[in-house]
Structure 1
Amino acid sequence: MADTTRQSTGIAGLDLALDGGFPPGSRIIISGSPLSGLELLAQQFWQAGERTGTYLMLDAVPLEGMTDARGMDAAALAGVMQGERIVVDSLSTLIAAWGIDAAVGFILEDTRALTEGGANIAYILYTGLHTPHEEARLMRAADIFITLRHQIHGNEFERTLAIEKLRDSDVPQRVIPYLIMAEGLELSTTSRVV
């Protein structure tokens, strides 16, 4: 039975894998290439349900309803974060601008009041841009770490989602196939054991 205190991810198949969604007060890192659909996953989370939230766009022109956070410092970013569903797009931009120490400090300290109040904050992290040491520090700072992978086999894409870290829970020992649709990601309700 799904935990009713959890917050829906906006994707039924991912909610199923997470036993109802994200636990309240989670720091979530969604990792993948720019073509993996991680922005779509973040947007589905931000738009799910009737709850309030903030989508901070740091490295592109924001879409309708998003907050233009380009060039903001840590205090300004934390000051505009509101609601129960917050997305930071992208953590990679913060690391490039501030360095890894300040980015980890932002995740753990500058947003602490929000997560202690039950808000879930999802950070987008682009793969291939960071050192293994930086990625390890980010994994340690996260409560939940999700990786989206895609491979090309002949003329077909194979896309899989892996939940690599899940605070206070067993990590599912499987990868979940997913599709990128016009309305966002769609996860399979079947999965492969790894």
Structure 2
Amino acid sequence: MKLLKTGIAGLDEVLNGGLPPKVLLLSGPPGSGMEVFARQVMYNQAKQAGVTYFVVEKTPSSVKEDMALYNWDVTALEATGFWKFKTLLKKDDVKKVVLEEIEKDRSIVFDSLSEVPFVREVDEAVAFLGMACRQNKGAVFHMFLLTEGMQDTKVEVAMQHSAEGVIVFNDNVKSDNIQRGIRVKKMNGSFAPPRRLPYSINKRGFVIETATRIT
């Protein structure tokens, strides 16, 4: 299976080359940086394949403004069709719209599952991710964001079970410093790193810290 490079400093080396073309669940609390991670990876991915970025409560302009902080300008990519935003409305058949984009072999970002009402129900949430996994042809990866604590714990566990890959983001405050880390909890078709990976976010975006922190 061909692994796809993330373009994130230090991460591709730890992942032995990159991420597999799977349906990936990104889970973390507000402010953990999972949105930055998804946007950075997909900005790099868009240069090889098309990306569709779904927003629910956010707006395309707010996402573009946030991305501009890291010099990720998608204007040219939008003009060529390699990047497009889709705003999901209450009247939309969310499952149908998302699966249609996956069928086109476009990478998708779903920002975020926690903002969609049907995700509150375990069966509905699991069925949605299951359909996405079956629809995926294995050429590109897809990222579904889930904000921890906005739905029942049973839903979160069930969705982690259904996804083909799970990346968990967390942050802790220690001695007035924020210590962030990600854990590749599950990754079908690849080996998950056996340890938590510390990371920081700076003007370049998401960076894996390869040096051991001295405390």
Partner residue, 2:148 = 127
Could you tell me which residue of structure 2 aligns to residue 172 of structure 1? 193
1:77 aligns with 2:98: yes
1:118 match: secondary structure: coil
Question: Does 1:101 find its partner at 2:123?
Answer: yes
Q: Which has the larger radius of gyration?
A: 2
**Residues 53 and 83 of structure 1 are in contact (CA less than 8 Å); yes or no, is this contact kept in structure 2?**
no
Q: CA 1:149–1:97 in structure 2 vs 1: closer, same or farther (change >3 Å)?
A: closer
* Higher fraction of helix: 2
- Structure 2: state its 5+ residue gaps: 65-83
Q: Contact 1:54–1:83 at 8 Å: present in 2 too?
A: no
The whole-number CA distance in structure 2 between the counterparts of 1:133 and 1:97 is 11
Distance 1:90 1:181, change over 3 A: same
1:151-183 Cα offsets, whole Å, 9 max, x none, are 111221101111111114443211111111133
- The answer (yes or no) to whether the contact 1:45–1:85 under 8 Å persists in 2 is no
Q: Which of the numbers 4, 7, 24 marks the counterpart of 1:28? A: 24
Between the two proteins, the alignment pairs up a number of residues equal to: 187
Q: Is the CA contact 2:20–2:189 (under 8 Å) kept in the aligned structure 1? A: no
Note the C-alpha offset of 1:190.
4.0
Verify the 8 A CA contact 2:120 2:152 in the aligned structure 1. no
Query: 1:174 aligns to what SS in structure 2?
Result: coil
Looking at structure 2, the residues matched to 184 and 66 of structure 1 have their Cα atoms a distance apart, in angstroms, of: 21
Which stretch of structure 1 is more off in the superposition, 95-104 or 161-170?
95-104
Q: Does the CA contact (< 8 Å) of 1:30 and 1:38 recur in 2?
A: yes
The answer as to whether partners of 2:101 and 2:108 remain within 8 angstroms in 1 is no
Q: Which amino acid aligns with 1:61?
A: T
* 8 Å CA contact retained: 1:28, 1:122: yes
Cα deviation 1:99-140 (Å, max 9, x = unaligned): 332222121115632x12523111101112232321221111
Residue 143 to residue 188, structure 1, CA distance change in 2 (3 Å): same
Residue in structure 2 matched with residue 92 of structure 1 by the alignment: 114
Taking structure 2 as the reference length, what is the TM-score of the superposition?
0.77
Q: For residue 209 of structure 2, what is the aligned residue in structure 1?
A: 188
Percent identity over paired residues: 28
Cα distance change, pair 68–103 in 1 and its aligned pair in 2 (3 A):
same
1:30·1:124 contact (CA, 8 Å) conserved in 2? yes
Q: Which blocks of at least 5 consecutive residues in structure 1 are unaligned?
A: none
In 1, Cα distance between equivalents of 2:160 and 2:119: 19
Aligned partners of 1:75 and 1:110 also within 8 Å: no
Aligned pair in 2 of structure 1 residues 100, 191: CA closer, same or farther (>3 Å)? Answer: farther
Change (3 A) 1:90 1:143: same
Equivalent residue letter for 1:16: E
